[in-house]
Structure 1
Amino acid sequence: MRIYKECQYCSKELEGRIDKKFCDPQCKSAYQYQQAQQQPERFYNKVDNQLKLNRRLLKNFNKAGKATIRTNQLNSEGFNPNYFTHYWKNTKGDVYLFVYEYGFLKRTENNMDKYILIQWQNYMEK
């Protein structure tokens, strides 16, 4: 008596080992990708992805080391100011939030919300 098994991804008949689950590596990979997509995003991945996006946006909008940009422009690109790695307080008492080496400070000037963007400097370590 022969037992017929099917590939878990494409349902083709399997040949070979009795414990085989997939017909080829592509079906195995596709099945695992499909399963991963059905799982909710892990908290760590969500935070890490947002930090990476925030850093990339701050870097792109701050080519010279210091820049000013409207908050709605940065936020429309997916920036979320609630995700940062550390902060630095200057002598005036302003608290800059940093995403790795790129920092930002929210300001309101002329009834318009803006971010002042800076880059980490050696003197900030003190």
Structure 2
Amino acid sequence: MVRIVNTCKCCGKDLEGRSDKKFCDPYCKSSYHYQKGITESPRFYNRVDNQLKLNRRLLKNYNKAGKATIRSEQLISEGFNPNFFTHYWKNNKGDVYLFVYEFGFLSKIEHGVKKYILIKWQGYMEK
């Protein structure tokens, strides 16, 4: 019977035990996947998730009272991207608010300046 000797993907040591073993210990497994994650470009869903988290954090920071108005250039300069949102809500006037989880925004132009009206999700919006 021929014995196939596998080596650890991280450190190169000979492996003992199961024939499908890839790493010599949990440290090597963790180290290998960490280094692999650094060298690979971020996956699509990671980029989307990171942008959604940033958008939510910014909307939360600028909307402490439940409703606020801010210049769009201020949010965008901090990394906000209005193309990333989780859902929308249309009010009785026909305005469509885009939401990032529980924080929403509506783009308006007032006196020639583009602004965002920020709101927080309310129970009556579930209809």
Output the CA distance in 2 between the equivalents of 1:71 and 1:103: 14
Identity %: 69
Q: What residue in structure 2 maps to residue 3 of structure 1?
A: none
- Structure 1 residue ranges without an equivalent (≥5): 1-5
Contact 2:8-2:14 within 8 A present in 1 as well: no
The worse-fitting range, judged by mean Cα deviation, of 60-69 and 106-115 is: 106-115
Q: CA deviation at 1:28?
A: 4.2
3-state SS, counterpart of residue 83 of structure 2: coil
Segments ≥4 residues shifted beyond 6 Å: 18-24
Q: CA deviation at 1:16?
A: 7.8
TM-score (structure 1 length as normaliser): 0.79
Q: Does 2:104 correspond to 1:120?
A: no
Q: CA deviation at 1:40?
A: 2.0
Structure 1 residues 16 and 95, CA gap change in structure 2 (3 angstroms): closer
Output the CA distance in 1 between the equivalents of 2:23 and 2:111: 63
3-state SS, counterpart of residue 107 of structure 1: strand
3-state SS, counterpart of residue 92 of structure 2: coil
Structure 1 residues 118 and 8, CA gap change in structure 2 (3 angstroms): same
Output the CA distance in 1 between the equivalents of 2:123 and 2:26: 50
Q: CA deviation at 1:86?
A: 0.8
Q: What residue in structure 2 maps to residue 103 of structure 1?
A: 104
Show the 5 A alignment for 1:1-126: 14=13, 17=16, 25-126=26-127
- Structure 2 residue ranges without an equivalent (≥5): 1-6
Query: CA-atom RMSD, angstroms?
Result: 2.5
Contact 2:8-2:15 within 8 A present in 1 as well: no
